[in-house]
Amino acid sequence: MTLSITPLTDTIGAELSGVDLAGDLNPDTRQSIYQAWVDNIVLVIRDQDLTPAQFVASAAIFGPIKQQNLDSFAVPEFPEINVVSSEDRNTDGTPPAPPAAGNIRWHGTTTAMGLLATARPTARAAPGRPIAVASSP
């Protein structure tokens, strides 16, 4: 497969094709994906079937992965991955704690710690499955 980068608009976004993030990517391909992100800000990479380990490895293309501070949303074996779901449950199946007054149930920025997530690789979920998110500081 050959990596292809197709702009989605004149100003932002590109679709990448010809890449299997589940496979071993050579350094040149990893650098091309990273540069496509720098150049286009938003990337769409369709039809990827990734295990949690492969998701983390592919997210690391964009920089070091930062573990979120809300561990109730983390995938147990992969604390770098948070689950974003409309289902009212934690990843272990338990109901979430009620939010504090005035707070929302899920908020994933790290600006209070002086960090800003520059990349947020997100997997679009199949119907009935939650979305996985990994952050790079």
3-state secondary structure (DSSP) of residue 61: helix
- pLDDT single digits (tens) 81-103: 877 766 666 666 676 665 544 44
Instruction: Give the C-alpha separation, 79 to 129, whole Å.
Output: 18
Which pTM does this prediction carry?
0.68
What is the token pair recorded at 1? 């497969």
> What is the number of H-type helices and E-type strands within the chain?
2, 7
- pLDDT single digits (tens) 19-77: 999 998 999 999 999 999 999 999 999 989 888 899 889 999 998 887 777 777 778 88
